[in-house]
Structure formats: C-alpha cells, structure tokens
Amino acid sequence: MKRGVIIAMCCCLLVIFKQRCVVQVSDLKVEGLTCDFRTNPIGIGNLKPRLSWKLSSQNPNQKQKAYQIIVASSEDLILADSGDLWNTGIIWSNQSLNISYCGEKLSPNQTCFWKVKVWDGEEIETHWSDVNFWTVGLVNQDNWQSSWIGLKQERYDSLISVKPWGNNMVLRKAYKTYPSVYLGHKFSTPKKVEKAIIYCTSLGVYTALINGKRVGSDFFTPGWTDYKKRVYYNTYDVTKMLHEGENAVAVMLANGWYAGTVANRGQNYYGNQPWFRAEIHLTYEDGSKKIITTDGEWKASVGAITEADMQGGETFDARLNNPSWGKANFNDSEWNFADIYDTLVSQINAYPSIGVQRIAELDPKEILKRENGTYLVDFAQNFAGWVGLTLKGESGDSVVIRYAEKLNSDGSLYTRNLRSARAMDTYVLSGDSSQYWEPKFTYHGFRFVEICGYRGELTKGDLKGIVVHTNLTETGRFECSNPLINQIYHNIYWSQKSNYIDVPTDCPQRDERMGWTGDAQVFMPTAAFNMNIAPFFNKWLVDIYDGQFENGRFPSTAPRVYNRVAAGWGDAGIICPWHFYQFYADTTILAKFYPSMQRWITHLENRSPTYISTLGSYGDWQNVESETPIPLLATAYFKRSVDLMSQISGVLSKRNDSIEYAGLSEKIKKAFTDSFLLDSGRIESETQTAYLLALAFDLVPRTERQQVVDNLKKSIYNADTSLTTGIIGTSLLLPTLTDIGETDLAYKLVLNTDFPSWGYQVKHGATTIWERWDGFTEDGFHEDSTNSLNHYAYGSVGEWFYSTIGGINALEPGFKKILIRPLPGGDLQYANVDYESSYGPISSHWKIENGFFYHTVSIPANTSAVIQLPNRQSDKIRIEDQPISESSLVKDVVAHDSHTTFEISSGEYHFSMPFDSN
Ligand code: BGC
C-alpha cells in the first residue's frame, strides 16, 4: 500500500474515533443566574431562595427540556461537580425561573456555591453555567450577640402639626437639626483573616468604615421600614479591608427616617435619636473564629457632620474633620464610651433589596454668577441626589447650597413647592487646599442649585450633580421617530429614578417623599418595564403588609405613616403582588401574602352589605375638574381586587376560593350596574375616569358595553379631544382606548401639547413627570404649594409605550409566552422597543418605509410568541423574505378582521408587509 493511502486511512479512523468520543454539547448557554432576584447576594435571610437563570443561543427555536442545579458548600466541591448541599439530578421541566432551594438546611453565615445545566429541545446537555454563590445572613434575632449603641444627646420632642395638602398649610415649627453621631472601636486580629463579614443595622441611617475606608457603596442603610415592627441589616464582606494587627471600625450615624424628618410627620416619629448595632464575624486562616460586636467598649462622640437631616440637608464643618478618624491610630482617649440602648426591635431581618447608590454624575449645563456674588447652577435635568463640590478658600467660610426644581420669573429659586423641606447643605471650609465634599445623609429633588458664600470663582469643573437611587438594573429601552414621545419617555424614566429610593416615593423634593400605595400601583407596570424592580418590591411589599391594620385594611402609604385608608391606594396590597407575578412569574410572593390579601377583601366585604364599597378615597387624584364619585371609584376597585383574588387563588390551586371570589365579583358588578349605570350607557358623573373604570374593570353588562364605549369617546371629544383624568384614570386611559380599538385616539392624546397632557408639561420645560398637568404654565406656577415637578404617577402611560407602540405584552407570567403586537399610529415612522425579561431580551423594532412595514423581533430562548401584525392579508406578510404561509418558522397563521396572528419560537426574525399609513 502506498504511504499516502495509509496516512489517509489513519486520518479517517482518527476522525471516526474522535466523533465517537466527543459528547455532543448543546449550543444553549446558561447565564444570568440570580438568587432571590439578585446576582451573588450576600447575607440573605430567605433559607429557600428562588433560583433563576437565562438561556441564550445563536440558533432559533431553543427550549429547555430539563435542568439540573447543584449547590455546594465550597468552591472546590462545586468545581468538582459535587453538590453536597443540593443536587436536583435531572428534572424534566422547562421551568427556569424561581426554583426554590430545597437542599440541606442552611445555617447563618454559610456560603453556598451553585451552578446549573440544562437539556435543550433535542435533549442535548449544555455546559455548566459559571459558578455563582449566595451567602446566608444572621437569619434571625437570636443569632445577634451585639448591643444597640449610640450617644445620648439632648433632644426635644417636636411639636408639629401640619395640614399636608392645600394652601392652608399650618407651617410647622422650624425643626432642629442634630449632629451626626460618630462611633468607633479598635480591635486586633493577631492571625491572618481568611474571611470577615460585617453585619450592620441601625435605627437611623449609617455609614460604616473599616480602617478609614467606606464599607460598601450603599446610602441610607439599612433603609426605611416600620421600625416598630422590623428593621433590616446589611451584610458586607470586609475581608480585604482588614489586616493582621490593629484595625478600626467606625460609624457615622444620623437620624434618617427614624428620628429625623420623615414623610410629612416631622421629626422623632419613630424614636428620638439614632442607634447602631453591628458585628464582624472573623474566620482566621487556622479555622478559629471571633466576633467583634458593638458594646459599651465602643467610643462615641460628634464630628464634622454637624447636622444631617433627610429633608433638611447636611452641614459639614471641614475644620472639625480629623483625617485619622476611623483608623487604628486615631486617638479616641477623650471620647466617651458609647451609650447602650436596651430595646427590642421586633424583627431584625436581612435587607432583601438592592441599596440606594450613587448612580451617575451630571456636569452642570450652565453656571451664572449673580451680581451679589452668588452662583446659580443649572443641571438641565430634574433628579434626586445632591451636588459634590471641590472648593478652596478661607478657613471658616460657609458655603451654602440650596436646591430647587425650577426658577421663579425673577431668577430666584422656586422653593414654595418644597413646603417645609429646608433642602440646604452647608460646607464650612477648613482653609486647606482644594477639598472635595458631598453629603451622606440627605437627598434633594432638584435641577437648580444656588451657591452662596463662596469667595472663589466657581467653574463647571468644581461641581457635579450626583444622581442617587436604588441601584436597579435598567431593563427597558424605547425610542421612536417622534421627539415628543421620546421626551415623555425620558421624563418617565427620570421620575422613576428620582423616586425609587428604597421605597417608591411620590416625590423627592418636598416634605413628603412617602410610599403612596396608589401612585405605586398605577405606575408599577411601567416601572417593571423600565427596570428590574423585583428586589425593590420584594422589600416594599413587606412594607405594605407591615402597615396592614388589625381589621385588614391596607395602608395608603408604606411604610405606614398615615392612618387614612383609601380605595385605589389600599388595593395596592393585591394589585402590586399581581403585577409582580405577571412580570417575574413568582408564585411564592402570592402565597406569602395570600392570607393578608384575604383579610383586605373580607374587610371590604363586611363593610359593604350592598356590595357598594363605602371605603373612602383620595378619588381620582389631580383630575381636571372632573371628580369621579368616591363610592363609584371604590366599588370599581373592590371589584378589581376581588377579580384579582379569584385569579390569584386559581394560581395557588385554591379552587373553592377562586369560585367564591368570582361569585362575589358578579355581585359587585350587579350592584355597580344598578347604582351607577344610567340610561344610554352613561355612567354616573360621566367623567372619563368613571367610563374607564367601568370598561377596564369589566363593570357593565356586555349588552351595554358599546354604549359605554361611545360615551367614553364622547367624554374625550367633549373635552376638546383631551384627557381630564387624575392619576387613577390616567393609568387606564390609553390601554383602554387600545382595547376598544381606538388606538388612533390614544395617539392623539399622547401627541397633544395643549393643557392637559404630557406634551403640555414637555412644552413647559419638564424633564420629569409633574404632579399636576398645570404645575407650570404661561401664567407661572400653580398657586398650590403641593406642586411637585417630579412625580411619576402620570408616567403610568409608559406601559402603553412598551405594550402598544412596541407591542410587547406577556401572555403568560414572566413573559414565558409573549404577544408582540405593535400598533403604529400618529406620525410615527419607526419605534425601537426592548425589554430585558427574566428569560432574556425581547425586542420589537419596526419602521415604515416606502409603503412597507418592516419589523424585527427577538424572542428569548425557552419562550415563544404570538405575533400580531396590522395586516389582514396574511399572504402579504413575509418572514426572512418568504411568505409566512411557506415558512417553517411560523405556525398557526390566522387572518382576523384587521390583523394576522401567528406563532413563532425563540430567535430573531424579520417581517415585512405592505402598509398603508392611512
Ligand atoms: C401625594 C400623592 C398621593 C396623594 C394622596 C399626595 O400628597 O403626593 O401622590 O397619592 O397625596 O391623595
């Protein structure tokens, strides 16, 4: 045999041998692992955390047929594919979200390493995902060994009586601000530390330092809760911050929500001074352990932060700043020993959300030096946060920074709408060379700042705007050919950023900043498209339930600082978990709060023998001279909550409950019809909101529905084709118009720039959503001081941008099954809309060009979608340049009156069809 032939035969044999030996691996990638909605969370309190992952692939039509999770107690074990804590084995299921950990019992302080692999539609196995981890916190109160410590200062109980709304506000007594408490402790670590975890909590807000360096990047820790019921603790890995030998731990502690100005309740609402509690759990390299705890050995004093109040602002006297404070060489011999606070906070739980952090820095757009030597700085964007300054000057010079959202006509700051929030920071210079400073324990809602008392020349490089909010991942993107809609979208996003600060607040600037439940529930779908709000609501839902009254009523603010209960607000206790489930497919949230939800319904039922709800309400808040009667609104929301309860019980397999709630719903509907449906499909009061409630919450018999629809349209035309709705009606307006086939009318409203409209706010310079349609007009500011220029509630329209302009909708919870239904309208020539769902990215990008509609759609692996395109001639629709009827990528093509629907599986697809814009 020739040599060449022999070589060729050997090569063939080698190839055959290789093919036999290579295990086929799926091209699916398992990534984006989360544990209780966070990536590698540390110090979690849930011992059965929810594990989720995403799948991605270059190829279309990808599914998960099975999965395997392993969880190990060490990195070595997980790398050796051994799950000593949990090994699910192969589970034949397509579930990839919220699989509750069910392995070995976990103990405090434990680290769990985990990874996942899946089997694709062909039952071919993927590689393992990267290794992720979570660590368990101190879990429960009994595991805390430290004491609450602080520094007793002379305090007074504030006497504040304020009427929060309207012009007749009784001015509260000027509040007193207090210096921050400084706490410190030195300790030695004689051996090399392998691991050091600090657990910190406070009644108040704190910043902790180890060896002079800040621990973590969170602000206002440990967040706002109903401190009488619960306080959270934060967990940080500080291993790298310690060294062998002498170390120091130090804390700056301020009143925060606990004892400082909170909501519109003034100061000392929960307590009259702040307290701190922490422990550092050390594991040495030799395996031995030690715990450093807060106790009476700690030292306490006051320092350079001479006042700190959430709403009032902060003063920093740089002359009092000792740079060695917080370090092991600091001389604390003249400091007092810390005071001990002997209290029982009912629960100390692991912080379940993500911290408030510095998210971005804005450069000033313009600086104006006024004749009197003061400076006016414009950041060209309304936002929440503060300014950071680099200053130099004489020792003792006080530089005062005041904040405002807008200017009065004479160029002065418009501060009337701050009401009693002082919103002022002060920096007292030390005389040393240039110093950078920013506050720690306050935030402001502003676009403009005024700087007084600075004798140097202020330039743009000397200051920046620090944007602060809960650090949630942005998940939404929207852009279209119409600049007005883009600006409205921008304003919505910025109002969300400014108000998602540990709790969803109404506004960031005035003496309110409360978690109004009504505002939060109407805005939640928009918020969930914009950002991954799961960790945030995982915390805030607890605030709602902590605020539930004995008799079952849900509060109108959470944390609860108000005893008034309101329809449309309290219902957030049912509506918000439902939205949570729709966006994140998590049933544990529904199960956890189900008994509380039932108590709310039972309360409403007990007090409504005729099925007309007698609950009070703030009504259709901020409507335009178009009051909807409270009993009508309250009964509509009663029905809405009961309907959701029927669905929730269904999800939780509580069949009997579900049937019972469905029966109750029918009774409410009948009572509503009997009481509020007048002749010819008119609804009492004939406001747009009354019609919207009736249609959106299914409150009128089918036979009269068309008349009600006609009357809704009439009510819009009668108002010069404009809206008259407040925050309740506005959230239903465009989605309902689309549901009844009036998307063109919806476009007219959203493109309107006359009063009242979103466009009117934009025309008047809004960079965020306002509380009122007419917060600022040609005639100046609204006369009422309750006039926030950064209030997200009307921003609920954002949901329609995603679900109608982009057409992205969930057909199944978590977007497991997606409806892509873009409805072009107005003068829009294109729209690019993206949403990063729990399964992965969903996109809907369309454009109209030369009489054609081009549409690019992306659907993540392990999901499928129904596509609905606005052309009834299905034979004219092409996918990848082939008629859909001939393509194997598409199934179940159905032509309807005005559109065609069909199904696709995961992947990216390009559609085109003739399109007549008229
Ligand atoms: C808030 C609103 C809230 C309302 C209750 C206001 O002061 O700013 O957004 O929903 O009170 O009616």
Whole-number Å distance, alpha carbon 516 to ligand 1 midpoint, is 7
Residue-wise pLDDT for 865-878, tens only, equals: 999 999 888 889 99
pLDDT at position 142 is: 79
Whole-number Å distance, alpha carbon 560 to ligand 1 midpoint, is 14
Write out the two tokens for 329. 């060489």
Encoded amino acid at 503, one letter: V
Q: Could you tell me the CA-to-CA distances from 4 to 12, 14, 16, 33, 549 in Å, in that order?
A: 12, 15, 19, 52, 89
Does the pLDDT at position 271 exceed 80? Answer: yes
* Contact indicator for 741, 735 with CB cutoff of 8 Å: no
Whole-number Å distance, alpha carbon 547 to ligand 1 midpoint, is 17
Whole-number Å distance, alpha carbon 506 to ligand 1 midpoint, is 7
Does the pLDDT at position 98 exceed 80? Answer: yes
Instruction: Say what the alpha-carbon torsion angle 467, 469, 473, 474 is, to the nearest 10 degrees.
Output: -60
Adjacent-strand bridge partners of 99: 51
pLDDT band per the 50, 70, 90 thresholds, residue 169 = very low
Ligand 1, atom nearest to 791 Cα = 9
Neighbours of 515 (CB within 10 A): 26
pLDDT at position 165 is: 35
Beta strands at 424-428 and 313-317: parallel, antiparallel or unpaired:
parallel
Whole-number Å distance, alpha carbon 392 to ligand 1 midpoint, is 42
* Residue length of the chain: 918
Write out the two tokens for 395. 């020792």
Candidate from 519, 627, 785 with most ligand 1 atoms within 8 A of CB, to mutate = 519
Does the pLDDT at position 115 exceed 80? Answer: yes
Does 175 sit in the ligand 1 pocket, CB within 6 Å?
no
pLDDT band per the 50, 70, 90 thresholds, residue 711 = very high
* Contact indicator for 518, 569 with CB cutoff of 8 Å: yes
Does the pLDDT at position 159 exceed 60? Answer: no
Candidate from 265, 516, 628 with most ligand 1 atoms within 8 A of CB, to mutate = 516
**Long-range CB pairs of 77-81, under 8 A, 24+ apart, other chains included:** 77/113, 78/113, 78/114, 78/115, 78/131, 79/131, 81/128
Residue-wise pLDDT for 774-800, tens only, equals: 999 989 999 999 999 999 999 999 999
pLDDT at position 527 is: 98
Whole-number Å distance, alpha carbon 505 to ligand 1 midpoint, is 10
Does 793 sit in the ligand 1 pocket, CB within 6 Å?
yes
**Long-range CB pairs of 78-87, under 8 A, 24+ apart, other chains included:** 78/113, 78/114, 78/115, 78/131, 79/131, 81/128, 83/114, 85/112, 86/114
* Contact indicator for 198, 235 with CB cutoff of 8 Å: yes
Does the pLDDT at position 166 exceed 50? Answer: no
Residue-wise pLDDT for 908-918, tens only, equals: 999 999 998 77
* Contact indicator for 122, 251 with CB cutoff of 8 Å: no
Query: What is the Cα–Cα distance from 639 to 629, expressed in whole angstroms?
Result: 16
Please state, rounded to an integer, the average pLDDT across all residues of the chain: 93
The predicted model gives 106-127 an average pLDDT of 96
Does the pLDDT at position 337 exceed 90? Answer: yes
Does the pLDDT at position 158 exceed 60? Answer: no
The predicted model gives 344-364 an average pLDDT of 94
Residue-wise pLDDT for 224-242, tens only, equals: 999 999 999 999 999 999 9
Ligand 1, atom nearest to 786 Cα = 7
pLDDT at position 304 is: 94
Q: Which residue has the tokens 């392995």?
A: 103
Give the residue numbers marked as catalytic.
512, 771
Residue-wise pLDDT for 318-333, tens only, equals: 999 998 999 999 999 8
Residue-wise pLDDT for 649-672, tens only, equals: 999 999 999 999 999 999 999 999
pLDDT at position 871 is: 84
Write out the two tokens for 52. 């989720």
Whole-number Å distance, alpha carbon 380 to ligand 1 midpoint, is 26
Residue whose Cα lies nearest atom 7 of ligand 1: it is: 165
Ligand 1, atom nearest to 621 Cα = 12
Does 519 sit in the ligand 1 pocket, CB within 6 Å?
yes
Instruction: Say what the alpha-carbon torsion angle 893, 896, 901, 902 is, to the nearest 10 degrees.
Output: -10
Candidate from 499, 506, 768 with most ligand 1 atoms within 8 A of CB, to mutate = 506
Residue whose Cα lies nearest atom 8 of ligand 1: it is: 506
Instruction: Using the Cα atoms of residue 410, residue 412, residue 418 and residue 419 in order, give the sign of their dihedral.
Output: negative
Phi/psi of residue 427, nearest 5 degrees: -120, 120
The predicted model gives 520-528 an average pLDDT of 98
Residue whose Cα lies nearest atom 3 of ligand 1: it is: 516
Higher pLDDT, 345 or 629: 629
User: What's the first-to-final CA gap in the chain, in angstroms?
Assistant: 78
Ligand 1, atom nearest to 165 Cα = 7
Does 620 sit in the ligand 1 pocket, CB within 6 Å?
no
Beta strands at 193-203 and 275-284: parallel, antiparallel or unpaired:
antiparallel
Does the pLDDT at position 6 exceed 80? Answer: no
pLDDT band per the 50, 70, 90 thresholds, residue 4 = low
Residue-wise pLDDT for 559-592, tens only, equals: 999 888 999 999 999 999 999 999 999 999 999 9
Residue whose Cα lies nearest atom 1 of ligand 1: it is: 506
* Contact indicator for 514, 264 with CB cutoff of 8 Å: yes
pLDDT at position 345 is: 76
Neighbours of 145 (CB within 10 A): 12
pLDDT at position 163 is: 37
Residue whose Cα lies nearest atom 9 of ligand 1: it is: 506
Beta strands at 882-883 and 366-369: parallel, antiparallel or unpaired:
unpaired
Ligand 1, atom nearest to 618 Cα = 12
pLDDT band per the 50, 70, 90 thresholds, residue 177 = confident
**Long-range CB pairs of 367-375, under 8 A, 24+ apart, other chains included:** 367/458, 367/459, 367/460, 369/458, 370/411, 373/452, 373/455, 374/450, 374/451, 374/452, 375/450, 375/451, 375/452, 375/454, 375/458
